[in-house]
Structure 1
């Protein structure tokens, strides 16, 4: 198949440090190339890929202080993609609503993976283009009535995640993710303080979250019980999670998937998470972590998490959330959509002959 992958431009593919969507796009694209498909990746110019790379900007937009309007460059990226639509059997968009209008104007089908949650505004946009093919990354994500072709869980290369047989002594809790209200770092701090445990936090601070960080997070960082390690690299992230007794996932929104959960379990570290969005689909409650209803339950789960089998956590990810399984799912989606297009064209051709 000839496949176009369309990535956001805020981060490179794969991301330097933080960037869940870009990591998924990277793993998907490279594995499709390994399977013999002809893949073109539309992404930032500093991206690294086995596919043919096409870029409208030389570097990740977030790293360029001269760029203030990200949407402008993603619009240019989409123009580049859809001017070449006839070259592809299928276009796979990972950038949300911006691709919808152009996708409706060309004959090559566009598959949209929904990487985010719905807002009132985006719900209207997606509903206007209801019949385009969509892939959800969890069943819980399906809060708007759309043409869902499949649910395909995100996958990781487990070989890139070292397995840690035991937690470091003295034990600590880990938090990884954007330092934003919906990711719940404020809840992670509350859990650490209520339990008396040490909390090690890592993740990026987007410009929109700087006031939140200054008001709700920074005052609690003492370098001892509450530690902030900044935006860590992949090896540092793996070590931070792998040596932890548990990873906290105390979100305040309906998380569509939550890559951090499977990354943590791949290292052997169970996850204690808030019961929102995809969490019950990703964690095997009582086996690879605990799904909780509130902060108090998360505190109560900490001593119980020490009894869980870390090898089982690793095997759970290997059996359910690998790149191989993810790409199998997307290949099936591509084949289904292409076949539907062939059949539709055949019906149109037959109707013209009959007429």
Structure 2
């Protein structure tokens, strides 16, 4: 990078879904939001993603379509081609920002360009050996304060951001609760149904079915179109309407969730959140201010009775302050500068030795 030239970033997206996704795809969504916010700040970003992706920056790639949308795309084969395509051009960039998990780490010692990796979740025991091996070669970023492994070193904690302006404020909610997310035991769909029934409030469910057995046995039997209705995976205006019209979002998860984009999106629409005290939920939901953080289904039912006392304007204001796309981009932009500053003495020494 020459003086006064824009920073050149290679943004490496996952290829499970399009960037941005049409509906589900949290990693791809956060990658897209960051890319567009960086471009708006004057950063020269090349987005390496599936070729049906869209960006205001430069789109590059070799993967025709996401492997979740195209049965002919072998995930392992095309992921390797995708990552290699970026690494073969590494010298053209100041920094490679890896959003695509652990595979790119294997290239870090083969190139001169520094790599920063956003860890989108607490690493499993199977993946941890890879992250431990390369943690002194690659800068890691955690996405919430609670999602930091004690055995890894992190360069920063940078929560995800959203384009708040894209989420209309819902001032007049209907008498209905919302479950928004993948239908899976981890997400607590059946618990949300039980809590809504106990409170006597209808429940709207929206999201992809990720566990067919769970859906058929514990969710579908309760769908009657009145007390429980299911809308599938929502996108566009229907998604925004669902997030903004509910009296509260039920996020009664059964795992240590690293972030929770749907929680932030609901809050941006002014919808309070009732969440179990798991993972990043205490980091995101301000108990008694933007919703309630609870420990049991009974406490969740009690919280529904109090949700009318939550100021919906306060929910949106908190997202603007803490979870905006511009805040996220500013944090990453600063980190990029720190990374390059750390490497500057080493680079000067290498140039001097080559003369």
* Alignment TM-score, normalising by the size of structure 2: 0.94
Distance 2:61 2:166 in 1: 27
Q: Where does residue 54 of structure 1 map in the other structure?
A: 60
Shift of 1:349: 6.1
Q: Where does residue 159 of structure 1 map in the other structure?
A: 165
Residues 195-236 of structure 1 show CA distances to partners (whole Å, capped at 9, x for unaligned) of 221110101123xx2222222222222222111100111321
What's the secondary structure of 2:127's corresponding residue? helix
Q: Where does residue 189 of structure 2 map in the other structure?
A: 185
Distance 2:15 2:173 in 1: 37
Structure 1 segments (4+ residues) deviating >4 Å? 347-350
Distance 2:256 2:348 in 1: 41
Q: Where does residue 129 of structure 2 map in the other structure?
A: 124
Shift of 1:93: 0.5
Matching of residues 299-310 of structure 1 within 5 Å: 299-310=301-312
Shift of 1:348: 5.5
Q: Where does residue 240 of structure 1 map in the other structure?
A: 242
Aligned pair partner of 1:172 in 168, 172, 176: 176
Consecutive unaligned residues of structure 2, counting only runs of 5 or more, are: 1-6
CA contact (8 A) 1:130 1:145 kept: no
Q: Does 1:8 align with 2:10?
A: no
Shift of 1:182: 1.3
Aligned pair partner of 2:323 in 321, 324, 332: 321
Distance 2:116 2:236 in 1: 29
Aligned pair partner of 1:39 in 38, 45, 66: 45
Shift of 1:347: 4.9
Aligned pair partner of 1:108 in 98, 103, 113: 113
Q: Where does residue 4 of structure 2 map in the other structure?
A: none
Shift of 1:292: 0.7
Q: Where does residue 203 of structure 1 map in the other structure?
A: 207
CA contact (8 A) 1:7 1:93 kept: yes
Residues 3-52 of structure 1 show CA distances to partners (whole Å, capped at 9, x for unaligned) of 00011111111110122221211121112222222211110111110111
What's the secondary structure of 2:155's corresponding residue? strand
What's the secondary structure of 1:174's corresponding residue? strand
Distance 1:349 1:161 in 2: 49
Q: Where does residue 23 of structure 2 map in the other structure?
A: 17
Q: Where does residue 135 of structure 1 map in the other structure?
A: 141
Residues 128-158 of structure 1 show CA distances to partners (whole Å, capped at 9, x for unaligned) of 2222210111010002422211111111111
